[in-house]
Amino acid sequence: MRLGFHLSIAGSLLRAIQQAQVLGCQALQIFVQNPRAWKWREIPRPEIEAFISARRLAGLGPLAVHLTYLPNLASVDAALYQKSRERLARELALARELEADYLICHPGHAALEPESFRRVARTLAAAVAQTSPPPLVLIENTAGQGQELGWRPEHLGMIMRRAEVPLGLCLDTSHAFGAGYDLRHPAGVARLLLEIAQGPGLERLKIIHLNDSRAPLGSRRDRHAHLGQGTIGLEGFRQFFSHPWLRPAAAIMETPKRHQADEWRNLLCARSLTSTKMLLG
Ligand SMILES: [Zn+2]
Ligand SMILES: [Zn+2]
Q: How far is the CA of 79 from the centre of ligand 2 (A)?
A: 27
Write out the residue range of the structural domain in which residue 18 sits: 2-280
Q: How far is the CA of 14 from the centre of ligand 2 (A)?
A: 22
Q: How far is the CA of 29 from the centre of ligand 1 (A)?
A: 10
Q: In the chain, which residue ranges form alpha helices assigned H by DSSP?
A: 14-23, 45-58, 78-97, 114-130, 153-163, 173-178, 186-198, 233-241, 260-280
Instruction: Confirm if 16 and 10 have CB atoms less than 8 A apart.
Output: no
**Peptide bond preceding 35: is omega within 30 degrees of 0, i.e. cis?**
no
Q: How far is the CA of 141 from the centre of ligand 2 (A)?
A: 8
Q: How far is the CA of 254 from the centre of ligand 1 (A)?
A: 9
Cα distances (Å, whole numbers) of residue 115 to 85, 105, 121, 140, 209: 16, 19, 10, 19, 28
Least distant ligand from the CA of 107: 1
d(CA 172, CA 208): 6
Instruction: Confirm if 238 and 15 have CB atoms less than 8 A apart.
Output: no
Q: Report the pLDDT value the prediction gives residue 277, as an integer from 0 to 100.
A: 57
Q: How far is the CA of 248 from the centre of ligand 2 (A)?
A: 15
Domain CATH for 123 = 3.20.20.150
Instruction: Confirm if 189 and 240 have CB atoms less than 8 A apart.
Output: yes
Under the phi-then-psi rule, with left for phi > 0, alpha for psi from -120 to 50, and beta for the rest, what region is 132?
Answer: beta
Can you tell me whether residue 70 is helix, strand or coil? coil
d(CA 198, CA 158): 11
65-74, pLDDT tens digit by residue? 999 999 999 9
Closest CA to 3 of 280, 177, 264: 264
252-264, pLDDT tens digit by residue? 999 998 888 999 9
Q: How far is the CA of 223 from the centre of ligand 2 (A)?
A: 10
Least distant ligand from the CA of 68: 1
Please count the structural domains in the chain: 1
Q: Report the pLDDT value the prediction gives residue 281, as an integer from 0 to 100.
A: 41
Give the Cβ contact number of residue 78 at 10 Å.
8
Least distant ligand from the CA of 252: 2
Least distant ligand from the CA of 251: 2
- Helix (H) / strand (E) containing 140: strand 136-140
Which residues surround the ion ligand 1 when the cut-off is CB under 5 Å? 140
Question: pLDDT tens string for the chain (281 positions)?
Answer: 999 999 999 989 999 999 999 999 999 999 999 999 999 999 999 999 999 999 999 999 999 999 999 999 999 999 999 999 999 999 999 999 999 999 999 999 999 999 999 999 999 999 999 988 989 999 999 999 999 999 999 999 999 999 999 999 999 999 999 999 999 999 999 999 999 999 999 999 999 999 999 999 999 999 999 999 999 999 999 999 999 999 888 999 999 988 889 999 999 999 999 886 555 44
pTM, two decimal places: 0.96
CA dihedral 169, 174, 176, 180 (to 10 degrees): -170
Task: Give the DSSP letter string of 188-243.
Answer: HHHHHHHHHHHTT-GGGEEEEE--EESS-TT-----EE-TTSSSSHHHHHHHHHT-
